[in-house]
A = this chain, B = another copy of it.
Amino acid sequence: MRPSGRNLSECRPISIETGVTKHAEGSCLIKVGDTHVLCTATIEDRAPSFLKGTGLGWVTAEYGMLPRATNSRTRREAAAGKQSGRTQEIQRLIGRALRAGVDRSALGERQIVIDCDVIQADGGTRCASITGGWVALRLAVNKLLKSGLIASDPLLDHVAAISCGIYAGQPVCDLDYAEDSEAGTDGNFIMTGAGKLIEVQMSAEGATFSRDEMTRLLDLAEAGVAQLVTAQKAALA
């Protein structure tokens, strides 16, 4: 029934390659099916000014798509002179999600910037950005720990994200673009390695949904995130 022939609960193949750029403090190229995102982590000595003197650190994210990551070319945001509302919404989400897994006191007054740039898009780019962004963050934090700049690990748990939705009347996991553009309801579930919820975003444009459907989507998300966390661990091993 799914355009890709997958089972309702079947995720796309996941690959995470680390150390893909020589400059960044942490980096990976995450591929979730045909969605490919390059994630880099940059450590900055200073936290944003609103944290001055608090002893707390910050993690933030920026998101971009190469113009031809998509089926038809998308206008370059730098040329358009601003980031779209969609881009801003996504990068706020990525930053918020990653911060939820960080002990900002242990990080100290510094900032880590996660850049997520979509090389090729086929649905689920914000979820792949979070899952890959966490790997880049982990690598950068490892560098801080190894150098002795911080004493204890500020990362509380893995953070990963998956999209789920109702496609052709059925709850399905890890929507690709063909499903995403047709789904009546879809959303994103961001969870920790231990299965706790960080963010739930379910949204209906075409049709409303029931609490029962919500429950079934949460079940799918739990199973999907578990697979992503396994892939994160393998990539970092």
Number of copies: 6
- Looking at A8-16, A17-25, A46-54, A144-152, the stretch in contact with chain B turns out to be A17-25
Q: Residue A70 at the B interface, CB < 8 A?
A: yes
List residues of chain B with CB within 8 A of the CB of A96. Answer: 203, 205
Asked whether A79 lies within 8 Å of B100 as measured between CB atoms, the reply is no
Query: Which residues of chain B are within 8 angstroms of A223 by Cβ–Cβ distance?
Result: none
Instruction: Tell me the bound Cα distance from A120 to B99 in angstroms.
Output: 27
Q: Are A197 and B218 in contact (CB under 8 A)?
A: no
Interface residues as binary, A158-172 with B (CB distance below 8 Å gives 1, 0 otherwise): 000000000000000
B23 contacts A69, CB within 8 Å?
yes
Say whether B34 contacts A68, CB under 8 Å: no
Q: A201 to chain B: which residues have CB within 8 Å?
A: 199-202
Identity of the chain B residue whose Cβ is nearest the Cβ of A85 in the assembled complex: B88
Q: Among B22, B73, B86, point to the contact of A42 (Cβ < 8 A).
A: B73
Q: Which residue of B lies closest to A157 (CB)?
A: B208
Indicate if the CB atoms of A120 and B187 lie closer than 8 Å.
Answer: no
CA A11 – CA B99 in complex, angstroms?
30
Chain B residues near A196 (CB, 8 Å)? 208-210
Q: Is the CB of A120 within 8 A of B34?
A: no
B210 touches A67 (CB 8 A): no
Contacting residues, chain B, for A71 (C-beta < 8 A)? 23
Asked if A92 lies at the interface with its beta carbon under 8 angstroms from chain B, I say yes
Are the CB atoms of A115 and B66 closer together than 8 Å? Answer: yes
**Cα of A73 to Cα of B46 in the assembled complex, Å:** 14
Contact A62 B79 (CB under 8 A): yes
